[in-house]
A and B are shown apart, each in its own frame.
Chain A
Amino acid sequence: MNNALINDEPIPLLKRLDWQDWLYSIVLLAGAIFAFNQYSHHMDVYEQGFLFGAVATFSWLGWSWKAMRNLVLGVGALSLFAIFVYDADLQRAEQAFFLKYLISSQSAIMWMNVLFILATVTYWVALFNRSQFTGKFASSLVWSAVLMGFVGLMVRWYESYLIAPDVGYIPVSNLYEVFILFCLITALLYLYYEQRYATRQLGGFVMLIISAAVGFILWYIFDREAHTIQPLVPALQSYWMKIHVPANFIGYGAFSLAAMVGIAYLLSARGILASRLPSLDTMDDLMYKAIAVGFAFFTIATILGAMWAAEAWGGYWSWDPKETWALIVWLNYAAWLHLRLVKGMRGPILAWWAVVGLFVTTFAFIGVNMFLSGLHSYGEL
């Protein structure tokens, strides 16, 4: 009896860690200490806090989701390799083989685009063939795309400093960069749920929205040359931006994920692909989980935005179109959560709502920049 008790008892996170977890954290910490020794005189106290905060955050992420360890280490290694090959000379992007074809920021981002599209196709093939193996292959394609995407952003960060030290910035600052961020965050959220709930059949659906974003990125590169690094306008030179924007994109990514699951739900409820997709309950639950995460982060992002606005525009709320639409998105999902949590509603209505919610979110994300003018005009198309 006692054995049964002990074997079944939940083990706290720290006791579940193995030597690989500790090695991973030691590598992270060593990296941070190295960076601190080399560059601490360039950092203010917040930046030093961020540096070691990042070690804690990524350790925790890697411990609770083992696949993250490989991603973090992979992104770190490839980015460092790119920096090594660059050797502080921007011209080498065109000369060095690795940079030109693989890991200069633009090449890496192109690889990300290609891999996301391939993953989309592969997921659909897997769905129609009911093939486990093809599905697994599709997942690894998404992982590789995420790896290349993050390497692209990291190297872009470095490249911006090579243009001129005063130009350098963290690449979450214009529409091009945030679209990449959107793809990456949506893909990561999806991968997490795929692993957690074994819902590989949904990959094809979620990858559709990412492919749409990839399409936009490609158009933006080829038609508008959006990938050229431009220095930041004074309004964007703020720490708030660096947390406001990613928090927002966790929200947007999660809402998009929920909407795509909603589409799968609605199809399945009508008997289309029903035998191939996860059960309706699972999809319903997944939709809720995604919207809950999205809502929490969207709230944080909006609050951070308000705090930044108080510092940059002289008021935490100016009824700027972007702010107003953020409020509308927030009210929309607040209503969704109320119906589910308070009224206990389930089923197609919420799925439809999640799908429509994507249109509201998309309008708040790009529509406002395209059609309405206001203080957020730096994201203009």
Chain B
Amino acid sequence: MRFAVSLLTVLGIASIIGTVLKQNEPYTNYIIQFGQFWFEVFEVLGLYDVYHSVWFLLILLFLVISTSLCVYRNSPNMLREMRVWREHATEKSLRAFSHQHEYQANGTPDEIRAGLTRFLTARGFRFKTLQHENGDELIAAKAGTYQRLGYIFTHTAIVVICIGGLIDGNVPFKVQELLGYKTVEVRDIAASEVPAESRLSTANLSFRGNMTLPEGTSADVAFMRMRDGYLVQELPFRVALKDFRIEHYATGQPKSFESDLVITDPDLAEPLEATISVNKPLIYKGIAIYQSDFQDGGSNLDFNLWGLFSNQVAPLSVLGTIHQEVTLGEGDAALIIEFDDFRKFNILNLTADGKGKPHNVGPNVTFKVRDTQGQAREYVTYMQPLKLDERFYFVSGMRPALQEEFKYLRIPVDENFEIEGFMRLRAAMMDSAAHVEIARRLTASSLSADADNDDMKGKFESSVTQLLRAFAEGGYTRIAALIEDSVPEDQRDNAAQTYIKIISSAAFEAHNLARERAGQSPAVADEETLFFLQDSLNSLSDLFFYGAPFYLELKEYEHREASGLQLTRSPGKNLVYSGSVLLVLGIFAMIYIRERRIWLLVKSDNRVLFAMSSNRKNRDLDMEFARYQEQLQRLLT
């Protein structure tokens, strides 16, 4: 018992570790978290999959055996206790009871006997009468003896549940692995190439595997993640995904995830079609198929690629597919774009104080840009402009590492709600040839036409050109550096204000120059234009932190989803359920049935000795005894 309690405590602590330490993560995450040394220590202890480690299962097995032995040893006693009447209690022993009382009864012995038996029957006691040789009569009564079944039920239940759990656990695989028949596959290879020692046949009793099916594809194997690798579970049928659907509430939150499946099996006359959804699995041949998650199944995406630091106005067209990559450029300058995910619906809360309602902001695409050194940055770009602080922007987030937060680039929309306006302005601002023209126009519009100012005009023009070049080389950061290098400390604030003003005014000229080149009418210097220019300049300055020399604008998409299915076979389930029923019955029996025994010794001189006991001494017994004592008093005298 003591040993069993210690083992239970160990199990409890192990379980707690299992909840604190995330289980079954990729091993690289653990190495980053703990360092190489502790990673190996924890791996030996099996802490990354505590609940399936050998020692955990052994303790569980031991507990099952010890509980079974306990039930085996004690049950016969318990059952005997239930049956016996204890009618051989002597007067002396009854008088030694803590709950006993003696009465001097009135009436004939028959009347007394009749009264007492009626008293017992009305209170649910069964009894047996024993005639003593000296003329005394002992009535031995009992009630609630089924309480003892509670013990047998609960303990048997625990054994049954654990056996069910062990059957559904991966014990058979563990044994085969120890014997060297099976190994975990760690290579990233196609399912069909996985060797036999990492495949589990359809005869495998119990498993819990996953399968990701893009729409229009099918598979007849499931994968089981195990430690740092996986196993392939063969299925006795083939599952095809016809269609995957997400339905939404009016507010945009997802309402249901559904997959239309087609099962093909030589045993079936014709394919079985079924729709599964969360909470509504399909069970076929003892294998339950669950809707577990979803992801992109290889959507085709059509992008405009805008070079950010060139003077080129028109975009390039780039086609991408999720889970595939595209290489831009050649040699050392080549960049690989890895398209990771496309999401058609994104529910975001964009209100400034975070208290407004979240709503759907449309599709986004997540991709990585990797250079030839293998360094990658991750990007998330929204297809449609988002409304932030009452204005609309094209938004793209970047992060240099997965554990960091995204930093967002906001590009203001033009009057047509497009990105072109910004991109044309950007082309002009980044074009050193255009800088001269912009400076000339700015000079013409801001300085009066006096002829004697030629010299000053020339100076102003060249300083504007210089400023624009600096901005084109590094945005506001570069301007700040310029000020720090060339302006005395006490004049820097003034200089900064002047420079920013000049750049803003120059941007207006650049904007018009760009519009002119695109064949558009010049812009009016109204509030709307000024906001646009302000946002554009901020955004231009931020381009230098964006990390990619291009912006991918998502134009069109052809959505293709993949459904994540979970397939399980758990023959132990019925055992676990019946064990559970037994457990509940047992607990109620143990707690709510009270075993009580009463002895009434009727002596030949009409004295009646009343004694009462229970296998559990508690307040209920005290109260019940007090009540019966009083009632017997009234009955007998």
Instruction: Tell me whether A295 and B587 are in contact (CB under 8 A).
Output: yes
Cα of A164 to Cα of B248 in the assembled complex, Å: 13
- Say if the beta carbon of A282 comes within 8 Å of chain B: yes
The residues of B that contact A250 with a CB separation of less than 8 Å are none
Query: Which residue on A lies nearest to B251, using beta carbons?
Result: A231
Partner of A9, one of B23, B122, B256, B279: B122
- Say if the beta carbon of B190 comes within 8 Å of chain A: no
Cα of A281 to Cα of B50 in the assembled complex, Å: 43
Interface string of A362-378 (1 = CB under 8 A from B): 00000010001110000
Which residues, 256 to 277 on B, are CB-close (under 8 Å) to A?
A: 256-257, 277
Query: Which residue on A lies nearest to B570, using beta carbons?
Result: A315
The residues of A that contact B119 with a CB separation of less than 8 Å are 5, 8
Instruction: Tell me whether B278 and A10 are in contact (CB under 8 A).
Output: no
- Say if the beta carbon of B83 comes within 8 Å of chain A: no
Cα of A325 to Cα of B620 in the assembled complex, Å: 33
- Say if the beta carbon of B477 comes within 8 Å of chain A: no
Assuming the contacts A5-B119, A164-B249, A167-B249, asked whether A314 and B22 have C-beta atoms less than 8 A apart, the reply is no
Instruction: Tell me whether B583 and A10 are in contact (CB under 8 A).
Output: no
Query: Which residue on A lies nearest to B628, using beta carbons?
Result: A8
The residues of A that contact B618 with a CB separation of less than 8 Å are 285, 288
CB distance from A212 to the nearest CB of B (A): 24
Assuming the contacts A10-B122, A306-B580, asked whether A328 and B15 have C-beta atoms less than 8 A apart, the reply is yes
The residues of A that contact B631 with a CB separation of less than 8 Å are 4, 8
The residues of B that contact A341 with a CB separation of less than 8 Å are 590, 616
Query: Which residue on A lies nearest to B576, using beta carbons?
Result: A316
The residues of B that contact A282 with a CB separation of less than 8 Å are 619
Instruction: Tell me whether B254 and A233 are in contact (CB under 8 A).
Output: yes
The residues of A that contact B208 with a CB separation of less than 8 Å are 314-315
Partner of A314, one of B123, B255, B281, B576: B281
Assuming the contacts A4-B635, A296-B591, asked whether A313 and B290 have C-beta atoms less than 8 A apart, the reply is yes
CB distance from A54 to the nearest CB of B (A): 21
Instruction: Tell me whether A310 and B573 are in contact (CB under 8 A).
Output: yes
Assuming the contacts A166-B255, A234-B277, A234-B279, asked whether A299 and B584 have C-beta atoms less than 8 A apart, the reply is yes
Which residues, 206 to 261 on B, are CB-close (under 8 Å) to A?
A: 208, 249-251, 253-257
Query: Which residue on A lies nearest to B147, using beta carbons?
Result: A341
The residues of A that contact B292 with a CB separation of less than 8 Å are 313-314
Cα of A315 to Cα of B251 in the assembled complex, Å: 32
Instruction: Tell me whether B278 and A234 are in contact (CB under 8 A).
Output: yes
Partner of A231, one of B249, B567, B568, B617: B249
Instruction: Tell me whether B122 and A321 are in contact (CB under 8 A).
Output: no
The residues of B that contact A225 with a CB separation of less than 8 Å are 355
Which residues, 204 to 238 on A, are CB-close (under 8 Å) to B?
A: 225, 230-231, 233-235, 237-238
- Say if the beta carbon of A303 comes within 8 Å of chain B: yes
- Say if the beta carbon of B288 comes within 8 Å of chain A: yes
Query: Which residue on A lies nearest to B630, using beta carbons?
Result: A8
Interface string of A293-331 (1 = CB under 8 A from B): 001100110010011001111111101010011011001
Instruction: Tell me whether B12 and A328 are in contact (CB under 8 A).
Output: yes
- Say if the beta carbon of A1 comes within 8 Å of chain B: yes
**Chain A: interface residue total (CB-CB under 8 A):** 55
Partner of B566, one of A231, A314, A316, A321: A314
Instruction: Tell me whether B617 and A344 are in contact (CB under 8 A).
Output: yes
CB distance from B346 to the nearest CB of A (A): 16
Query: Which residue on B lies nearest to A4, using beta carbons?
Result: B634
Which residues, 303 to 320 on B, are CB-close (under 8 Å) to A?
A: none
CB distance from A317 to the nearest CB of B (A): 7
Assuming the contacts A5-B119, A8-B635, asked whether A234 and B256 have C-beta atoms less than 8 A apart, the reply is yes
- Say if the beta carbon of B491 comes within 8 Å of chain A: no
Instruction: Tell me whether B576 and A295 are in contact (CB under 8 A).
Output: no
The residues of A that contact B122 with a CB separation of less than 8 Å are 5, 9-10
- Say if the beta carbon of B16 comes within 8 Å of chain A: yes
CB distance from A360 to the nearest CB of B (A): 10
Instruction: Tell me whether A303 and B290 are in contact (CB under 8 A).
Output: no
CB distance from A381 to the nearest CB of B (A): 15
Instruction: Tell me whether B278 and A237 are in contact (CB under 8 A).
Output: yes
Instruction: Tell me whether A1 and B165 are in contact (CB under 8 A).
Output: no
The residues of B that contact A306 with a CB separation of less than 8 Å are 576, 580
Instruction: Tell me whether A233 and B566 are in contact (CB under 8 A).
Output: no
Cα of A8 to Cα of B635 in the assembled complex, Å: 9
- Say if the beta carbon of B134 comes within 8 Å of chain A: no
- Say if the beta carbon of A103 comes within 8 Å of chain B: no
Instruction: Tell me whether B115 and A231 are in contact (CB under 8 A).
Output: no
- Say if the beta carbon of A292 comes within 8 Å of chain B: yes
Instruction: Tell me whether A325 and B19 are in contact (CB under 8 A).
Output: yes
The residues of A that contact B257 with a CB separation of less than 8 Å are 234
Instruction: Tell me whether A233 and B253 are in contact (CB under 8 A).
Output: yes
- Say if the beta carbon of B51 comes within 8 Å of chain A: yes
The residues of A that contact B566 with a CB separation of less than 8 Å are 313-314
Which residues, 232 to 261 on A, are CB-close (under 8 Å) to B?
A: 233-235, 237-238
Assuming the contacts A300-B584, A314-B288, A324-B15, asked whether A373 and B22 have C-beta atoms less than 8 A apart, the reply is yes
Instruction: Tell me whether A312 and B279 are in contact (CB under 8 A).
Output: yes
Cα of A10 to Cα of B121 in the assembled complex, Å: 11
CB distance from A290 to the nearest CB of B (A): 12
Interface string of A159-179 (1 = CB under 8 A from B): 000001011000000000000
Interface string of B106-117 (1 = CB under 8 A from A): 110001000100
Cα of A314 to Cα of B573 in the assembled complex, Å: 11
Query: Which residue on B lies nearest to A288, using beta carbons?
Result: B618
The residues of B that contact A335 with a CB separation of less than 8 Å are 5, 8
Assuming the contacts A5-B118, A167-B249, A296-B588, asked whether A235 and B278 have C-beta atoms less than 8 A apart, the reply is yes
Partner of B19, one of A311, A314, A321: A321
Q: Which of B588, B618, B620 has the most CB of A within 10 A?
A: B618
Instruction: Tell me whether A372 and B573 are in contact (CB under 8 A).
Output: no
Partner of A1, one of B18, B23, B584, B635: B635
- Say if the beta carbon of B577 comes within 8 Å of chain A: yes
Query: Which residue on B lies nearest to A167, using beta carbons?
Result: B249
Query: Which residue on A lies nearest to B168, using beta carbons?
Result: A315
Instruction: Tell me whether B616 and A296 are in contact (CB under 8 A).
Output: no
Instruction: Tell me whether B250 and A164 are in contact (CB under 8 A).
Output: yes
CB distance from B138 to the nearest CB of A (A): 21
Instruction: Tell me whether B12 and A231 are in contact (CB under 8 A).
Output: no
Cα of A296 to Cα of B150 in the assembled complex, Å: 12
Instruction: Tell me whether B568 and A314 are in contact (CB under 8 A).
Output: yes
Query: Which residue on A lies nearest to B21, using beta carbons?
Result: A372
Cα of A284 to Cα of B617 in the assembled complex, Å: 13
The residues of A that contact B584 with a CB separation of less than 8 Å are 296, 299-300, 303
CB distance from A244 to the nearest CB of B (A): 12
Instruction: Tell me whether B19 and A368 are in contact (CB under 8 A).
Output: yes
Partner of A312, one of B5, B278, B592, B635: B278
- Say if the beta carbon of B352 comes within 8 Å of chain A: no
- Say if the beta carbon of B402 comes within 8 Å of chain A: no
The residues of A that contact B253 with a CB separation of less than 8 Å are 230-231, 233
Cα of A327 to Cα of B51 in the assembled complex, Å: 13
Cα of A225 to Cα of B592 in the assembled complex, Å: 43
Query: Which residue on B lies nearest to A341, using beta carbons?
Result: B616
Cα of A317 to Cα of B576 in the assembled complex, Å: 10
What are 21 A-B contacts defined by CB distance under 8 Å? Answer: A5-B118, A5-B119, A234-B256, A234-B277, A285-B619, A295-B591, A303-B580, A311-B279, A312-B290, A314-B208, A314-B292, A314-B567, A314-B568, A316-B570, A321-B19, A324-B19, A325-B19, A331-B8, A341-B590, A344-B616, A368-B19
Sort A-B residue pairs by CB-CB distance and give the 5 closest, nearest first.
A321-B19, A4-B634, A314-B566, A234-B278, A314-B290
Known: A5-B122, A312-B290, A314-B567. 20 other contacts (CB 8 A): A10-B123, A234-B256, A234-B257, A234-B278, A238-B279, A285-B620, A295-B587, A296-B591, A299-B583, A311-B281, A314-B288, A314-B290, A314-B566, A314-B568, A315-B568, A319-B15, A319-B18, A327-B15, A335-B5, A372-B20
- B residues contacting A by CB (< 8 A) are 5, 8, 12, 15-16, 18-20, 22-23, 50-51, 106-107, 111, 115, 118-119, 122-123, 165, 168, 208, 249-251, 253-257, 277-281, 288, 290, 292, 355, 566-568, 570, 573, 576-577, 580, 583-584, 587-588, 590-592, 616-620, 631, 634-636
